[in-house]
């Protein structure tokens, strides 16, 4: 159960299971920013404000510190192990197969739910955008049952459209992603430039209405700075999607570290500016839990036309997050299937496109079905649970490899490795425990299912057993 994957077995030698190296550091930085800057700041800032008030700024800061330490661990591991799979692969090499399986199972939860969350957030902005032109879409087709609808059709359609782009080819998808990221960053900078002059210190009072630690609020929602941090943590991760692109990077030794660190630094600056401008422009109670908080804020300060522009930018640019995470999810599935822990026939690369078509289609069906009926806040919290476990595993893998294999070539070395690793693990654990109790119960149930799958199938079919393709 704790056998480790040797370095010589990390990369496939047959063309059927080998990905094409076509991504530069520019593509990787854009992939990271495209994944990080998305629903978290366009949509979840409202969910976080509902739970922490103006102190959601602290929530963003705390989540950012933990994510920064995790990013440093990811950068070191990605540069040392330039193989697809991200945290799953690192755990397989450093911690053993059973731990790797649980990390991979958690990553399936993370990526699937992230795509679903972003699709639901995108749908909210589409409805708001069309409303600005007097076009009203029926509620039955734009929301799940929890919101009085039947099926969130826009969320399903955008997921399928992005999947079709990924199937066409990784390089083509990366080029379009870079263009859309530029549009998204421009829109956020316009929001800051317009909203910041309306900053009113009174909107920041009371600064911490629900306290610091997680507690049950009068509205029946678990609130506080840490409860909000556990939710808005969703807004920072995305750099881990870069790690899943290791096998498709042209120069992984250098470009992976640049992509991971560069995207985190850029996004942290953007988040601080946008959150400060939003909280200062209007009272947080106005946009708390709104599906389109930034556009709503602009309407409140008399910028109705510009709010439509921001909504349009979100409609155009939020699919970059879908692209990054749907890409990452398909690669996680792909590598687990290549290792025999999932059916090996799923790990085939289409010779014409150079992409794993079968696993991308399976992933799309899964996440589109969820996006059609799920609630935004609940699926975001569940996605965070999977991510936090994966981040803890990467921090642990980095420290274990430093001790067990200190002479291994590392083109990027995390500074103060024991401090960085400890903060990443302890910080993620605290945020994990700050998630809603209902989320933690569902998470335990999900991993109980995963444990049974591993015990009765994956352990026996693992490639380390010498299992044959297709077994």
Question: What integer pLDDT is reported at residue 394 of this predicted model?
Answer: 93
Q: Are 114 and 383 in contact (CB under 8 A)?
A: yes
Phi-psi region of 224 (alpha: psi -120 to 50; beta: other; left: phi over 0): left
Question: What integer pLDDT is reported at residue 20 of this predicted model?
Answer: 61
Q: Which two tokens stand for residue 302?
A: 């008399």
List beta partners, residue 23: 249
**139: how many CB neighbours lie within 10 A of its CB?**
12
Parallel, antiparallel or unpaired: strands 222-223 and 215-216: antiparallel
Cα dihedral 385, 122, 157, 163 sign: negative
Question: What integer pLDDT is reported at residue 272 of this predicted model?
Answer: 79
Please tell me whether the peptide bond between 185 and the residue prior to it is cis, using omega within 30 degrees of 0: no
Q: Are 292 and 311 in contact (CB under 8 A)?
A: yes
Q: Are 360 and 115 in contact (CB under 8 A)?
A: no
Cα dihedral 16, 408, 2, 447 sign: negative
Q: Which residues contact 116 (CB under 8 A, 6 or more apart)?
A: 155, 159, 367, 370, 371, 374, 379
Question: What integer pLDDT is reported at residue 468 of this predicted model?
Answer: 40
E strand intervals along 135-244: 215-216, 222-223
* Whole-number Å distance between alpha carbons of 451 and 165: 34
Question: What integer pLDDT is reported at residue 172 of this predicted model?
Answer: 63
Given a cut of 70, the residues of the chain with pLDDT beneath it are 1, 7-22, 38-40, 42-44, 132, 146-147, 169-174, 216-220, 234, 245-246, 289, 291, 317, 347, 350-355, 371, 373-381, 466-471
pTM of the model: 0.77
Question: What integer pLDDT is reported at residue 316 of this predicted model?
Answer: 73
Q: Which residues contact 416 (CB under 8 A, 6 or more apart)?
A: none
């Amino acid at each position: 159960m704790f056998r480790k994957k040797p370095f010589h077995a990390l990369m496939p030698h047959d063309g059927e299971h080998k990905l094409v190296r076509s991504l530069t550091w520019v593509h990787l930085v854009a992939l990271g920013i495209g994944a990080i800057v998305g629903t978290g700041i366009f949509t979840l800032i409202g969910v976080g404000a509902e739970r922490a008030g103006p102190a959601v700024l602290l929530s963003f800061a705390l989540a950012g510190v933990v994510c920064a330490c995790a990013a440093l661990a990811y950068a070191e591991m990605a540069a040392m192990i330039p193989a697809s799979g991200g945290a799953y692969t690192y755990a397989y090499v450093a911690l053993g197969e059973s731990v790797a399986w649980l990390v991979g199972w958690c990553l399936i939860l993370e990526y699937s739910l992230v795509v679903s969350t972003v699709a639901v957030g995108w749908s909210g902005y589409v409805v708001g955008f069309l409303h600005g032109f007097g076009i009203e879409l029926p509620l039955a087709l734009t929301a799940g049952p929890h919101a009085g609808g039947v099926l969130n059709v826009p969320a399903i359609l955008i997921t399928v459209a992005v999947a079709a782009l990924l199937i066409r080819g990784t390089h083509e998808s990366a080029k379009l992603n870079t263009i859309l990221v530029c549009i998204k960053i421009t829109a956020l900078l316009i929001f800051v430039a317009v909203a910041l002059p309306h900053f009113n210190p009174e909107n920041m009072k009371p600064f911490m209405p629900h306290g610091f630690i997680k507690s049950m609020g009068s509205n029946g929602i678990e609130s506080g700075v840490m409860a909000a941090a556990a939710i808005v943590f969703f807004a920072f991760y995305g750099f881990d999607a870069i790690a899943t692109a290791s096998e498709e990077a042209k120069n992984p030794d250098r470009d992976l570290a640049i992509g991971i660190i560069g995207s985190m630094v850029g996004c942290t600056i953007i988040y601080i500016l946008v959150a400060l401008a939003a909280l200062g422009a209007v009272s947080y109670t106005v946009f708390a839990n709104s599906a389109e908080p930034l556009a709503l804020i602009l309407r409140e300060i008399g910028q109705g036309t510009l709010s439509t522009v921001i909504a349009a930018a979100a409609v155009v640019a939020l699919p970059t997050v879908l692209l990054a995470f749907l890409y990452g999810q398909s690669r996680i599935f792909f590598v687990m299937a290549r290792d025999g822990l999932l059916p090996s026939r799923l790990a085939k690369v289409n010779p014409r496109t150079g992409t794993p078509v079968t696993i991308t289609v399976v992933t799309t069906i899964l996440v589109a079905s969820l996006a059609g009926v799920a609630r935004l806040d609940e699926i975001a919290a569940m996605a965070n649970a999977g991510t936090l476990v994966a981040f803890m595993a990467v921090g642990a893998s980095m420290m274990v490899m430093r001790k067990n294999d200190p002479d291994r070539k590392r083109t990027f070395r995390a500074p103060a490795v024991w401090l960085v690793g400890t903060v990443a693990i302890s910080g993620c654990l605290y945020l994990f425990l700050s998630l809603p109790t209902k989320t933690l119960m569902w998470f335990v149930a999900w991993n109980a299912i995963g444990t049974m799958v591993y015990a009765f199938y994956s352990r026996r079919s693992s490639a380390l057993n010498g299992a044959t393709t297709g077994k």
